[in-house]
Amino acid sequence: MSFSTRMAQALETRRAADGWRQRRPIARNDTRTLQAEGKKYLHFSSNDYLGLSQHPAVIAGWRQDAPGAGASGHVTGYSTRHAELEAQLADWLGYSRALLFISGFAANQAIVHLLAQKQDRIIADKLAHASLLDAAGHTPATLRRFHHNDVESLTQRLASPCDGETLVITEGIFSMDGDSAPLGALAAAARRADGWLLVDDAHGIGVVGDQGRGSCWRQGVKPELLVVTFGKAFGVSGAALLCDDATADYFLQFSRHLIYSTAMPPAQASALLAALHEIQGGDALRQRLSDNIQRFRRGAAGLPWALMPSESAIQPLIVGENGAALALSQRLMQAGCWVSAIRPPTVPPGTARLRITLTAAHRADDIDALLEALHDAAG
C-alpha cells in the first residue's frame, strides 16, 4: 500500500468515527477568555492553571534575555540563566540536580529511551501520558501496564520474574481524569521490587503541595525520577528532570535529546525563573483556583454526565460517545463557553468527555456562566 493510500484510509476511518481533530486559530487568549473567528468566549480549556502566562513579572522576565540559545547546551546554549533555573528547581524540590528539556514530551522520551534496555521492564499506569507510553513502546524493554491507580495490579505485575531492571511510571495528577496517584503505595511497591519510580507531575507542579511543590511533595514521596513541565501552571513551556548527581551526569553524557538539540531560549529560562518565584509565593493564586474548583463541583452535582472524583483543576464530564461529546461542546460554545471535547485515542473508547479546566484567572461569575450553560444543555 502506498503512503498516500494508507493516509487516505486512516483519515477516512477517523472521520467516520467522529474523531476528526480540528484546530481553530485563536486570535487572543488571556487564559480567562479567548477570541476565535471574531467571537469572544470564556475559556475552560487552558492548562495555565494559575494564569501565569499573563503575569507581568513573567512577561518582563521573558524580555530580559535573548529569544534564541544559538546552540545546544553542550556547545554554548547553556547560559547562566539556565544554570540558575536548574539550581533553584533542584533546591526547591529537594533534589541534587535538575536538567532542563525543551518540552515535557522531549523529557519523557529522553528519559525512557536512555534508561530502558533489553531485558528491562517498564510498568506504567494504563492512563499514563502518550509521551511516556510511546517512548516505552519504542525501547527494547518490555512494556506492561497496570490498572489505573491500582497498587494491587502493579504489585501483581512486579511479582513476575524479570532479569533486568524495573521502571515504574505514573503521573502525579492525571491529565484527562484529574485524579491523583497513590504515590506512597506505588513508590513502596516499586522499591520492594528494586525498581525505580518515574513520576510525571505535569499537572501537579505549581498547583498542589506546600509552595506549589507538587504531588510528590504533598504525598511525602521522593521518586528517583521526577518530571515537571512548564507549559501548565508555570504558564510558559519546557520541562525539567529532577534526579541525583549520577543520573544527571549520565543524562548529560548520553542523552541525545540534550546533546543534539538547541537549548531552551535564555528568554524562556528567564521567564521561568520569574514564574517559579510567583509559584513559590502563590498561595493566593492557589486559593483562588481552589475556590473556583469548589464552586464548579458544587454547581455541577446535579448534571446528568458523570463528574470524575477529581479535586484538581481538571474537571472532566464523561459524555460517552464522540458525537454526543462534540455536540455538547458545540452547544457550550454557542453559549459563549469554550470547552474542548476529548475523544479516543486520547481517552479510552466510550469515554469521550468535556475536559473542563479551571484556573485562578476565572471569576466566580465565569464559573456560574459555565454552570448555567451546562444546566441549559442538560435540560
Positions in the binding site for ligand PLP (CB under 6 A): 103-105, 108, 129, 131, 171, 175, 200, 202-203, 229, 231, 239
Q: How far is the CB of 103 from ligand PLP (least distance, A)?
A: 3
The candidate with the shortest Cα–Cα distance to 217, out of 231, 226, 237, is 226
Q: Are strands 225-229 and 306-307 parallel, antiparallel or unpaired?
A: unpaired
| Strands annotated E in the chain | 26-29, 33-36, 39-43, 97-101, 121-125, 142-146, 166-171, 196-200, 225-229, 239-243, 306-307, 314-320, 337-338, 341-342, 352-357
Amino acid, res. 348: P
Least distance in angstroms from the C-beta of 229 to ligand PLP: 4
For ligand PLP, the closer CB: 136 or 162: 136
Measured CA distances, 255 to 99, 247, 369, 375 (Å): 11, 11, 48, 50
Burial class (CB in 10 A: 0-12, 13-18, 19+), 335: middle
Q: How far is the CB of 139 from ligand PLP (least distance, A)?
A: 17
- Give the residue among 354, 357, 359, 369 at the shortest CA–CA distance from 317: 354
With beta carbons less than 8 A apart as the criterion, state whether 129 and 200 touch. yes
- 105 vs 338, beta carbon nearer ligand PLP: 105
Q: How many CA atoms are closer than 13 Å to the CA of 148, on its beta-carbon side?
A: 13
Residue 358 sits at φ, ψ, to 5 deg, of -110, 150
Q: Tell me which residues are annotated as active site.
A: 47, 129, 171, 175, 200, 203, 232
Q: Which residues contact 150 (CB under 8 A, 6 or more apart)?
A: none
For residue 265, cis peptide bond before it (omega within 30 degrees of 0): no
Phi-psi region of 375 (alpha: psi -120 to 50; beta: other; left: phi over 0): alpha
CB of 248 to ligand PLP, least distance (A): 19
CA dihedral 44, 47, 52, 54 (to 10 degrees): -50
How far apart are the C-alpha atoms of 268 and 367, rounded to whole Å? Answer: 31
What is the smallest separation between the CB atom of 182 and ligand PLP, expressed in angstroms? Answer: 17
Residue 95 CB, shortest distance to ligand PLP, in Å, is 19
Edge to edge, what strands does the sheet with 26-29 contain? 26-29, 33-36, 39-43, 337-338
Contact 178, 315 (CB under 8 A): yes
Closer CB to ligand PLP, residue 209 or residue 295? 209
Cβ-proximal residue to ligand PLP, closest one: 104
Q: Which helix (H) or strand (E) holds 108?
A: helix 104-115
Q: Name the strands in the sheet holding 121-125, side by side, starting at the edge strand that comes first in the sequence.
A: 97-101, 239-243, 225-229, 196-200, 166-171, 121-125, 142-146
Minimum CB distance to ligand PLP, residue 49 (Å): 12
